[in-house]
């Protein structure tokens, strides 16, 4: 086989530069969106408040959503972020962490691909294909999600499993399971793959650990915080698990109609085609993602079968490593053609869907110098750091670092608050404890109706053409 791995240092340097450009660009982009009031309580402010509370030694009960941070999702990986909050007061730091966690995910893929394909250049293409995948770029601009850590952690899981680096494997598996309660849906099939293809004992232990962790997180941790083990049962079609199984066995045509509805085929096309479907050459690695993909397709929650949301990120490493694994089975001269096809598909889908420079997709216009943004920051100074606040939701992301803050109309009228996110309409019992309220100068009809019932208890302490700050009398 031709020796084509020279000069390897230049290709490795190129990957480092590529990852650096990606991470810095998306850091700049997402921080800019945040500073331009483009982030909100869901899904940034709630994480910022929870981690800030932990950094101060407090219980992370997040008042922006009315749940404990670890009762919403068992994202104990966020404990590793707490020391960063001791070192900086920037409210943008989570966006920078997210961008680098996603970007660095290209390194383990490059490390495996260059060896498996016997080509540093092909390894570079695979690293670039990962960074160009729409699910990676779009996750990066979807506020903040702990799932971003899976970009690098799942990459290390696969690299270490394929290369039999078992110390790295166990560390990365353990950390990945700390990202979210349902990560076992991808770790468990990886354990099965390891058992069948690498080491039976280690694979079986992986299956047991991932299953045990999921059960622990759902039925002990999350239930202890919220009283509910699984808050998203409403996402299961046909009335829940029993209805789903009944339809699957008795009316499979109805299940098929459901699976091809609401752009689900388009979602599959956008998720899989950036790899040029090269993983089908030897599909065992990529097939470990079938559980997560199936759950996304089955879900009644529209976000889960749209490429623009973070639910797809966890499967990208499996698809990319599966692509390299499959291509490595081909003769060397054929590999080059297939990797060229991967490069073309990645570039095409990156241009079409990823929020990259000069690409077709964008994240809108958010500027910290916009007069409305500048005006908002001026009025933030009128609100004491220890005050209990209710604010318009894009403003909460800027004010989240306090013990009690609510996303208006909470707590005056319940909305997306508490363990049951569908509960709404009632006035929460602690509404009279709110000291400051910050709202747009012009309210929509629904917000105006809520505020008209409360405004007599407040006086204006700051206002401009865009915003008004009220203080309780």
- Dump pLDDT digits (tens) for 41-58: 988 999 999 999 999 999
Task: Flag whether pLDDT at 312 surpasses 60.
Answer: yes
At 9, the pLDDT band (50, 70, 90 cuts) reads: confident
Task: State both tokens at 366.
Answer: 């958010």
What pLDDT is attached to residue 364?
77
**% pLDDT > 70, the chain:** 98
CA-CA distance, 313 to 128, in Å (whole number)? Answer: 16
Helix (H) or strand (E) holding 439: strand 436-440
CA-CA distance, 236 to 310, in Å (whole number)? Answer: 19
What pLDDT is attached to residue 361?
82
Q: What is the DSSP letter of 312?
A: G
CA-CA distance, 170 to 211, in Å (whole number)? Answer: 15
Residue with tokens 């401009």: 464
Residues comprising the chain, all counted? 473
At 291, the pLDDT band (50, 70, 90 cuts) reads: very high
Report which of 40, 118, 26, 20 is spatially closest to residue 398, judged by C-alpha positions.
Answer: 40
Q: What is the DSSP letter of 261?
A: S
Q: Which long-range contacts does 123-126 make (Cβ < 8 Å, 24+ apart)?
A: 123/11, 123/15, 124/11, 124/14, 124/15, 124/18, 125/339, 125/342, 125/343, 125/346, 126/320, 126/323, 126/324, 126/339, 126/342
Task: Give the lowest-confidence range in 62-66, 347-351, 355-359, 457-461.
Answer: 355-359
Query: What phi-psi label fits residue 231: left (phi over 0), alpha (psi between -120 and 50 degrees) or beta?
Result: alpha
Question: 120-132 and 106-116 helices cross at what angle (nearest 10)?
Answer: 150
Task: Flag whether pLDDT at 6 surpasses 70.
Answer: no
What pLDDT is attached to residue 8?
55
CA-CA distance, 92 to 99, in Å (whole number)? Answer: 11
End-to-end Cα, the chain, rounded Å: 81
> How much is the average pLDDT of 313-326?
97
In tens, the pLDDT along 156-206 reads 999 999 999 999 999 999 999 999 999 999 999 999 999 999 999 999 999
Residue 346, C-beta contacts closer than 8 angstroms, at least 6 positions apart? 125, 128, 129, 132, 133, 274, 275
Report DSSP letters for 92-157, one per residue: THHHHHHHHHHHHTHHHHHHHHHHHTT-HHHHHHHHHHHHH-HHHHHHHTSS--GGGHHHHHHHHH
CB neighbourhood size of 5 (10 A): 15
What pLDDT is attached to residue 360?
87
At 279, the pLDDT band (50, 70, 90 cuts) reads: very high
> What is the C-alpha radius of gyration for the chain, rounded to an integer number of angstroms?
24
CA-CA distance, 211 to 183, in Å (whole number)? Answer: 10
Helix (H) or strand (E) holding 86: helix 82-87
At 445, the pLDDT band (50, 70, 90 cuts) reads: very high
CA separation (Å) from 264 to 151, 240, 270? 23, 20, 10
- The answer to whether the CB of 457 falls within 8 A of the CB of 473 is yes
Residues 385/390/394/395 CA torsion (nearest 10 deg): -30
β-sheet bridge partners, residue 156: none
Task: Flag whether pLDDT at 3 surpasses 80.
Answer: no
* Cβ-count burial 272-291 (b if 16+ within 10 Å, e if not): bebbbbbbebbeebbbbbeb
β-sheet bridge partners, residue 449: none
Helices (H), 354-456: 371-380, 393-399, 445-452
Q: What mean pLDDT value characterizes the chain?
A: 94
Task: State both tokens at 372.
Answer: 């409305």
What pLDDT is attached to residue 184?
95
Q: Is the pTM higher than 0.85?
A: yes
Measure the CA angle with vertex 89, ends 84 and 92; round to 5°: 80
Task: Flag whether pLDDT at 10 surpasses 70.
Answer: yes
């Amino acid at each position: 086989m031709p020796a084509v791995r020279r000069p390897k240092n230049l290709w490795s340097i190129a990957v480092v530069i590529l990852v650096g450009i990606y991470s810095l660009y998306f850091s700049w982009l997402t921080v800019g969106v945040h500073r331009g009031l483009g982030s909100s309580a869901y899904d940034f402010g709630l994480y910022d408040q929870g981690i800030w509370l932990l950094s101060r030694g407090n219980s992370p009960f997040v008042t922006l959503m009315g749940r404990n941070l670890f009762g919403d999702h068992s994202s104990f990986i966020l404990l590793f972020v707490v020391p960063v909050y001791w070192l900086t007061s920037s409210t943008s730091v989570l966006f920078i962490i997210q961008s680098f966690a996603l970007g660095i995910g290209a390194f383990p893929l490059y490390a495996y691909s260059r060896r498996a394909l016997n080509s540093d250049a092909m390894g570079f293409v695979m690293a670039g294909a990962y960074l160009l995948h729409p699910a990676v770029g779009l996750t990066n601009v979807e506020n903040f999600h702990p799932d971003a850590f899976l970009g690098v952690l799942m990459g290390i899981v696969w690299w270490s499993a394929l290369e039999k680096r078992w110390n790295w494997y166990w560390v990365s598996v353990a950390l990945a399971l700390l990202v979210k309660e349902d990560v076992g849906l991808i770790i468990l099939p990886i354990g099965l793959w390891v058992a069948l293809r690498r080491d039976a004992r280690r694979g079986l232990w992986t299956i047991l650990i991932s299953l045990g962790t999921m059960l622990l997180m759902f039925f002990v941790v999350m239930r202890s915080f919220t009283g509910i083990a699984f808050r998203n049962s409403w996402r299961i079609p046909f009335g829940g698990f029993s209805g789903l199984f009944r339809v699957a066995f008795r009316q499979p045509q109805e299940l098929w109609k459901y699976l091809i509805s609401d752009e689900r085929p388009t979602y599959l096309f956008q998720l899989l085609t950036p790899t040029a479907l090269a993983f089908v050459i030897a599909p065992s690695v990529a097939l470990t993602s079938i559980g997560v993909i199936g759950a996304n397709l089955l879900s009644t929650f529209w976000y889960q079968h749209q490429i623009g949301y973070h639910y797809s990120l966890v499967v990208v490493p499996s698809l990319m490593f599966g692509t390299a694994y499959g291509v490595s089975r081909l003769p060397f001269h054929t590999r080059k053609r297939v990797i060229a096809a991967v490069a073309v598909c990645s570039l095409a889908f990156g241009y079409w869907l990823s929020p990259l420079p000069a690409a077709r997709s964008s994240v809108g216009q958010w500027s910290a110098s916009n007069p409305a943004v500048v005006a908002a920051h001026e009025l933030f100074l009128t609100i004491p750091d220890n005050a209990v606040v209710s604010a318009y939701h894009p403003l909460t992301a800027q004010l989240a670092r306090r013990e009690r803050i609510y996303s208006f109309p909470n707590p005056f009228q319940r909305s997306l608050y508490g363990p049951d996110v569908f509960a709404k309409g009632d006035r929460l019992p602690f509404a009279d404890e709110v000291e400051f309220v910050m709202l747009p100068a012009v309210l929509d009809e629904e917000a105006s109706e809520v505020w008209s019932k409360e405004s007599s208890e407040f006086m204006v302490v700051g206002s401009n053409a865009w915003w008004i700050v009220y203080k309780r009398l």
